[in-house]
Structure 1
Amino acid sequence: MRLDRHHELFRTSVRAVLERLFLPELEDWEKAGEMPTHELYRSLGEEGLLGLTLPVDDGGLGLDLGYSHVWARELGRLPAGSPAMSLSVQTDIVLPLLAEEGGTGVRDAYLRPAVRGELVAALAATEPGGGSDLAAVRTTAVRDAEGLRLTGDKAFLTNGSVADFAVVLCHLLPSGADEGGDPPDGLDSLTLVLVPTGLPGVRQERHTGKLGNRACDHGRLSFTDVRVPEENLLGKPGSGYEALTRVFTRERTFLAAVCTARAATMLDRATTYARGRAVLGRPLLQHQAIAFRLAELDAELALIEQYTDAVFQRLQEDSAALRQASIAKLRASRLERECADLLLQLHGGAGYLEGGPVERGYRDARAYALAGGADEALLHLIAGHPRTDV
């Protein structure tokens, strides 16, 4: 992605904002297992950071994807993964979906307030028995004279227990459909519906005891005969899978930038530590095995950074990038885990003790083998698409 001086000025500005909002208390939030999501979103909304690339008419700034790239990298520099994990759902999945698929009522009532940070959003696609397999969705919305009646369960949702509304992936069924039977097979009836979490029949439950990204909220949503107005349908009936595929391409590119930034931070920390820590009378960095391993990771990082830049550029030019984004996210998240593993290994027993950035980086990195598309799901997608020029 070609960045100019305006992008670099933005980098300086956003870094200052993130350090002011997160650094003083991020350690405490991680220990407590929660952060003040609504308060932080309002502050970020006031800075214009929740709608960087959204149209001005929708309350966004109308900027190019270079700004999203910078935003992702700066989130990745923070000493915990929770902020990036939470915010990526808002800025790079749900709000683009509302801008592309939402009607006037949805844009007025939900999109613009969410851009201002007044509302927190969740994507409710994953189900307890389905994971990354969207064809396994069982949640249904039945049409009747009063609108839609939604029933089902969703789990492992980022922002799930604190969200003011969720975009729910479900099978849209006609009036009179047998609700006790199995939902349709396949993807053709999958539809997106915006559901305020304060409606009768909606239950929010928080997941606790997570391995990493502990300050980021994750939760479960249950829907029992929830009445939703027809105008809350996003896009055309049956277009849910296609719409999610588009935003997942963007999200995976965003997460690749987050992961490369986190990998770079850990690699820098590992190099600094290896330079100063002496073993057998000389610094670790002077031991060939350590020096070569750091060099391998540095070379891999340089390549993945360049590849991710190219995918951002491809998206900016409105070119298809599903395969490329999947490759970038797969390789960047794996590299982050490798850097986290080496950093912990270099610190020995001290790195294994809970309470610092070394072990937390190791725990946080594990999430991206699952979130934003599990490694196996991405490999399946890559294998099923032909090679292209990127």
Structure 2
Amino acid sequence: MKSEIDQFREMVRAVVSTEIVPHIDAWEAAGVFPAHELFPKLAAHGLLGLGFAPEDGGEGAPLEYQMVLSEELGRGNAAGVSMAINVQMHMATPSLAKYGSAELKERYLQPALRGEHVAAIAVTEPDAGSDVAGITTRAVRDGDDWLISGSKTFITNATQADWFCMLVRTSDEGGYRGMSQIIVPASTPGFEVVRKLDKLGNRSSDTAELRLDNARVPVTNTIGEVGRGFQQQMGQFIIERLSACFSIVGSTEWALEKTREYLKVREVFGEPLANRQYPVFMLTELSADVELLKAMNEKMCRMLNAGEDITREATVGKLHAGRTFRRVADAAMQFHGGLGYMEESWTARFYRDARLSSIGGGADEVMLQVLARMDGYTT
């Protein structure tokens, strides 16, 4: 008899194969997918609320179920849609769930878990990406409201989002101090989506620039404690990196399976490529790297379930996951030869999409800096 989590995996795979895979080519060509149509379908199966408390409208499922969901979303060639779903579940909502007031959760979190709202996380700015301490978007108190001015960029889900979990400065304290997380509804006067960005990959996921000019938002839209936004966001980043590790396992396993099958049927100099030692050894080595990532993911699940800090593990995992994703994409294209370079082949999109994995959610260099500091270096 199959375990409950195996049955869950089968259900998720069926949903993905029905609701996402048949449409992904059209969504990639359009440069956007219909989130307000897709998210309610996912929510109907309880997928958007897996890791959230039942009192908030979630499923209260163990972390392993979120891992399985992310893996299955990663399978196939729909990285843009997978990323957008992960933004909804693991990037824009964890702080709200952990620190938000009951009123905020009822107004914003619960509709997001039901798929009625599309959520986005707004941290990055034109002059502050990996250096979160450098953000300049500012909220000034005006009675019971914040007046927010500034700009954000590279914001996933931006053109469709109903609200944004936005990190802004709420005091004159510099560096990591004086920041707050504030829910900014897309309908707020003074807020606008300036332009949709044209990306190299993940094209089905809409990404845009934002501008705020004295956008008036109630102070009650502040998530948690005023001035603690940076610390709250760092915790949210950990969940983001964890979800990236989960989904990259699914993506790389799928790509390696596809490439192994191709090596069996592609003949070169009178015999299948699968008889050649170099490609076989290369795919075997990459499979071992994916196995190591899976083991790290399982370790992080155990640690989080026990209430332990996974900052180091998530940082190591994100660094390894991004590099593994890129190596798998490169090998898949190389072993498909000229066909792999054609847009008609799955490898072309996969190659383009994989490159973001070492940039988004914390660049490789930032992961190394974090780890170096944890090891006692002063870089």
TM value normalised by structure 1: 0.93
Task: Answer whether contact 1:53 1:64 (CA < 8 A) is retained.
Answer: yes
Counterpart of 1:273 in structure 2 is 262
Corresponding residue of 2:146: 148
Q: Which residue of 2 aligns with 1:358?
A: 347
User: 2 CA distance for matches of 1:295 and 1:14?
Assistant: 27
- Identify which of 277, 287, 291 aligns with 1:288: 277
Whether the 8 Å contact between 1:256 and 1:328 is mirrored in structure 2 is: yes
- Are 2:161 and 1:172 aligned? no
Q: Distance in 1 between matches of 2:63 and 2:284?
A: 30
**Residue number in structure 1 paired with 2:367:** 378
Match of 1:368 among 357, 361, 368: 357
| Partner Cα distance (1:209, 1:230) in 2 | 34
The corresponding residue for 1:253 is 242
Aligned 8 A contact 2:323 2:358 in 1: yes
Offset from partner CA, 1:15-34 (integer Å, 9 cap, x none): 11111111221111111211
Pick from 214, 219, 222: which aligns with 1:225?
A: 214
Q: What residue is the counterpart of 1:114 in the other structure?
A: 112
Matched ranges for 1:29-40 at <5 A: 29-40=27-38
Deviation string 1:135-165 (CA, Å, 9 cap, x unpaired) is 1100011112142111110000111121110
Q: Is the 8 A contact 1:126 1:137 kept in 2?
A: yes
1:379 Cα deviation from its structure 2 partner = 1.1
Structure 1 residue aligned with 2:63: 65
Task: Show the 5 A alignment for 1:75-224.
Answer: 75-173=73-171, 184-224=173-213
Asked if the contact 1:50–1:115 (Cα under 8 Å) also holds between the matched residues in 2, the reply is yes
Report % sequence identity. 37
Secondary structure of 2:180's counterpart equals: strand
Q: How many Å separate the matches in 1 of 2:66 and 2:348?
A: 28
**Separation in 1, partners of 2:195, 2:85:** 18
> What is the letter of the counterpart of residue 80 of structure 2?
S
Q: When the two structures are aligned, how many residues end up with a matched partner?
A: 375
User: Offset at 1:372?
Assistant: 1.3
Cα displacement string for residues 217-266 of structure 1 (whole angstroms, at most 9, x for unaligned residues):
11111110011101101111111111111121122111101112111111
Q: Distance in 1 between matches of 2:143 and 2:292?
A: 56
Alignment check: 8 A CA contact 2:76 2:254 kept:
no
Q: Distance in 2 between matches of 1:313 and 1:19?
A: 29
After TM superposition, the score normalised by the length of structure 2 is: 0.96
Q: Which residue of 2 aligns with 1:180?
A: none
**Aligned AA (1:239):** R
Structure 1 stretches lacking a partner, 5+ long? 174-182
Q: Which residue of the partner structure matches residue 304 of structure 1?
A: 293
- What displacement does 1:291 show? 1.7
CA distance in 2, matches of 1:383, 1:160: 34
In structure 1, how many angstroms separate the alpha carbons of the residues matched to 2:117 and 2:186? Answer: 11
Mean Cα deviation higher: 199-208 or 122-131: 199-208
Q: Distance in 1 between matches of 2:210 and 2:99?
A: 22
Q: Say whether the 8 Å CA contact 1:52–1:68 is kept in structure 2.
A: yes
- Name the stretch that deviates more: 293-302 or 228-237: 293-302
Q: What is the match of residue 316 of structure 2?
A: 327
Q: What is the root-mean-square deviation in Å for CA atoms of aligned residues?
A: 1.4
Alpha-carbon distance in structure 1 between the residues aligned to 2:166 and 2:272: 54
CA distance in 2, matches of 1:296, 1:162: 40
Runs (4 or more) in structure 1 with deviation over 4 Å come to none
- List alignment gaps of at least 5 residues for structure 2: none
Give the letter for the 1:232 counterpart.
N
* Counterpart code for 1:320: D
